[in-house]
Amino acid sequence: MIQTRHLFTLTAEVPKIIELGATPAGSRRIATVTGGTFKGERLSGTIQPTPGGDWLLVRPDGATILDVRLTLETDDRQLIYMTYRGIRHGPAEVMARLAKGEAVDPASYYFRTTPVFETGSQKYDWLNRVVSVATGRREKSGPVYEVYEVL
């Protein structure tokens, strides 16, 4: 049985998404992450503004593949590079409402990611050796994730 421990709740600010259009792989979109916060028992802080973003690919089957890169700064001024890949999908009508920025019950769609961390900080060095998973929900201002360390 897999056991987890909550690392933090991450709330990203995504004010702009650029539509590149249909590519051979699917419909490509790039979302700029301009900031946000993360809060947990063992670490909290802010998401640093650009460079940071989400390279989204909407596949022909309607699933959205996420490829995200962020820099986190802890409240005690340590830097952590966070990357994650993931997938979001659900019924077409639910996904259309999400795309319009409407409030949608997160239980009505699937949104999961696999964050990986990289840091030179001695205090947070333990993150370099953590496997993590996250559940997400999409809100009007951007995604919110509950990130868990796999024990």
**Residue 22 falls within a domain, yes or no?**
yes
**Residue 93 falls within a domain, yes or no?**
yes
Amino acid symbol at 54: D
What is the pTM assigned to this prediction? 0.93
Would residue 74 be called left, alpha or beta, if left means φ above 0 and alpha means ψ between -120 and 50 degrees?
beta
The angle formed by the CA atoms of residues 100, 105 and 106, to the nearest 5 degrees, is: 95
| SS3 of residue 60 by DSSP | coil
**Residue 10 falls within a domain, yes or no?**
yes
Domain that holds residue 77: 4-139
CATH number for 127: 2.40.160.20
**Residue 146 falls within a domain, yes or no?**
no
pLDDT for the residue 89? 96
Two structure tokens written together for 54: 């989400």
pLDDT for the residue 102? 87
Q: How many CB atoms lie within 10 A of CB 19?
A: 10
pLDDT for the residue 101? 81
Q: What's the gap between Cα 41 and its chain centre?
A: 19
Residue numbers in the chain where pLDDT is lower than 70: none
pLDDT for the residue 51? 84
CA–CA dist 125, 110 (Å, integer) = 31
Q: Is residue 65 within a helix (H) or strand (E), and if so which, with residue range? A: strand 64-74
**Residue 144 falls within a domain, yes or no?**
no
Report how many domains make up the chain: 1
Residue where the block lists tokens 């947070």: 124
pLDDT for the residue 122? 98
**Residue 147 falls within a domain, yes or no?**
no
| SS3 of residue 57 by DSSP | strand
pLDDT for the residue 104? 92
**Residue 99 falls within a domain, yes or no?**
yes
